[in-house]
Amino acid sequence: MRSSPAPERTPLDGLRLFAYRISGSLFVAEALLAETTRRAERECPPGEGAVREFLLGTMTDLCVSMPDVGRGRTLPSWVDASHPRGVGPAPSSPGDVGWLEPFPDDLLPQTGLEIPPYEPRESVSLEFVGALQGLSPPARARLLLGHEDSPPADIEADHAAFEYAYDREAGRREPPPEADAGPLLMRYIFNWESAGPEGMEAMLSDGVVLQNVPSGECFIGRDEVLRHLATGPLRRGEGPLWRLLPRRANGQMAFGAYVCMGSRQPFASHSIQVLYFDGSLVSEMIVFEYPRLFNLFDLLDELAPQGVRQA
């Protein structure tokens, strides 16, 4: 069952990515793309060049004026002072902060990813998008569009503020090589679905980070992550059953995770997991509990029941 059709690649993919980079939210980007399209149908002048200019101008105006965009978005580990990249203090409650959302690689435009001097994969990473969120919406747009007619002092200030916030080493983290990706993917799926914390332990680096959005939880280090898994999502006995479907998001390996609390119940959409690796070990796990994003990742709302509960 699907709540709405999955989007297909269109010439507007570049506008969706532009809105996502500025807003940090795939859901907001979809809403802005829909509004831009509606306005174009009513107001756009004829001519290919005029259409492109109208679409980008309208999208930019919407991005810099929408209150939810100006708020800026982040991830739990980036506001956790105990994390190596954390800045602290952590928000008093999850509702005090806006969280980043993942972006499916399948919706990336075929061209136009480059934002010199950054590499294409780097420019769609969560770290890159997160660093943009520290700027004002107009400054984000200036940096992305490279407006040469903007005052030089403004452009210089934009770049300085962005580079200060941007962890380029993290932003350029590569996914596993293709030759290793398949076996790692299958090991992760098997351990998450069937082996439990004991199976996951061998896949985690010493400093692994697991963070949950939108709860704002952040677990740092293998022991802390394993304790969370053993008492939470991967607990034995009456714990949930899981199914994972592989995807890619923000240039990294990702999964659509489905959960089932009864052996004969359907598996309901739960979260998008984005993984980072250090060699063959998982170094970071970001769990985005946003079922509303499943159709944008070309995932069903639920899966038919199968298998039996673990003993």
Boundaries of every domain in the chain: 13-171, 178-303
What does the alpha-carbon distance between residue 56 and residue 19 come to, in Å, rounded to a whole number?
A: 10
d(CA 63, CA 48) in angstroms, rounded, equals 23
Structure-model confidence comparison of residues 156 and 286, the more confident one: 286
The mean pLDDT value for 149-170 works out to 84
- pLDDT score, position 271: 98
Right CATH number for 178-303 from 3.10.450.50, 1.10.3720.10, 3.40.50.2300, 3.40.1050.10? 3.10.450.50
Residue 8 has pLDDT above 90, yes or no: no
**Which residues neighbour 193 within 8 Å (Cβ) at sequence distance 6 or greater?**
241, 242, 243, 244
CB 198: neighbour CB atoms within 10 A? Answer: 13
Q: Given this model, what pLDDT does residue 148 score?
A: 62
Contact in structure between 98 and 68 (CB atoms under 8 Å): yes
Torsion of CA 159, 139, 97, 80, to 10 degrees: 0
Q: What is the pLDDT of residue 6?
A: 59
% of the chain at pLDDT higher than 70: 87
pTM: 0.88
